Amino acid sequence: MNRSEMIERAQNHLGGLIESQLERIERMKASKDFIQYDSLDTIVIGVVGGDGIGPFITAQAQRILEFLLKDQVSAGKVAFKIIDGLTIENRAKQNKAIPEDILEELKQCHVILKGPTTTPRAGDPWPNIESANVAMRKELDLFANVRPVKVPEEGIDWVFYRENTEGAYALGSDGLEVNEDLFMDFTVATYEGSRRIIKAAFDYADKSGANKVTVVTKANVIKTTDGKFLKIAAEVAKEYPDVEWDDWYIDIMTAKLVDTKRRSQFKVMVLPNLYGDILTDEAAEFQGGVGTAGSANIGTRYAMFEAIHGSAPRMVDEGRGGYADPSSIIRGAAMLLEHIGYHKEAKKLSMALDICGQFEKELIITGRDTGATSEEFSDYIMRTLERDDLEDKWNSYL
């Protein structure tokens, strides 16, 4: 290929990307209204096991949801829909991040509880297909990745609002290899996409009483996309006179999260996709690691709840799948309950998780046969849920 052919090929590639992003903007504009769960006859909860330890831990979270929602299920207000086949083997066989038939099933649900799914990378025995997580967030337009982190004894009470459909992820599998010397990836920000995540963060800060939002970018260097993100944040902030806000760059923000004098001042953080990915893993570490944090992926029509960790295939290969820690996905299940309006059940479940996993610790999960199995731990959570003194017990530890 000569130089002008190369440039023409690159122009065509970019043209296609711009076209698909413009279409996405139209779709965003056309679906701004949030679904109202209380107006549905039946809320359908999809359960997707995923692969690796996914099916093991998801089964436990499902048991707990069924336990908490048994009356609603009997009354036909809630139904579970089990969706199999979102495994790396099946995805590889069909060469699809999410096979068509599974996507159709997902779209029949209102909310989804999802176990981890293996994300292939170059060199794996699998084709290097897009992550199922990333694909699901895009396909169902789950734009707000909400990740709370709490360490009460250190005054940490953070909620991250990570943008989930744009940034470096939007075209992460659509980069350009110009020739054997030049490689380019693209970062995307849209007015609509930035505004809706920033607004979600301010809304939450306003309603929850946190009243403080920190906007995290690298707008001093990434001037176009991050620059716009920050500008739109300033615009949204004007609509929330009661919410205080500030902005930090991602590098110093990463440092400040380990600054024990400073970090308790942060409350709600809103940030582009990749920074959010990185910062939330760091944040979860203070709470006991990624195994302890839940994650909500919220859109206007669908919402998906998951563990923030990966599928740990090695644990399954070594026969330790049944010893995987289900805490993170059970946190996700608590967020799901909260999201669909079962506040009382959500609160009980998160108190039980705190008691079992952080305070009382009658059973310990070690990831191997030196500790409790996922099932035993979930039984422990259910026993705790049944305690009459659950709330008093929880309060006594604070």
- Residue 378 binds which entry of Mg ion, ligand IPM, none, with Cβ cut-offs from 5 to 8 Å by kind? none
- Among 135, 298, 308, 352, interactor with ligand IPM by CB under 6 A: 308
Question: Cβ 312 to ligand IPM, closest distance in Å?
Answer: 12
Based on CB atoms, which residue is closest to ligand IPM, 121 or 238? 121
- Under a CB-based contact definition with an 8 Å cutoff, are residues 368 and 320 in contact? yes
Q: Does 292 engage in binding with ligand IPM (CB under 6 A)?
A: no
Q: 122 to 161, contacts with ligand IPM by CB under 6 A? A: 131, 133-134
Selection from ligand IPM, Mg ion, none that 119 binds (CB < 5 to 8 A by kind) is ligand IPM
Near Mg ion in 269-298, by CB under 5 A: 277
Name which of Mg ion, ligand IPM, none residue 134 binds, using a CB cut-off of 5 to 8 Å depending on partner kind. ligand IPM
Task: Please tell me the count of residues contacting ligand IPM according to CB under 6 A.
Answer: 6
Question: Nearest to ligand IPM by Cβ — which residue?
Answer: 131
374 contacts ligand IPM (rule: CB under 6 A): no
Judging by beta carbons within 10 Å of its beta carbon (0-12, 13-18, 19+), is residue 191 exposed, middle or buried?
A: middle
- Contacted entry of ligand IPM, Mg ion, none for residue 307, CB cut-off 5 to 8 Å set by kind: none
Separation of CA 154 from chain center: 24
Q: Is 163 a residue that touches Mg ion (CB under 5 A)?
A: no
Which residues, 6+ apart, have CB-to-CB distance to 320 below 8 Å? Answer: 367, 368, 369
CB nearer to ligand IPM: give 138 or 199: 138
Q: How far is the CB of 204 from Mg ion (least distance, A)?
A: 21
- Nearest to ligand IPM of 131, 350 (CB atom): 131
Chain positions contacting Mg ion, by CB under 5 A:
277
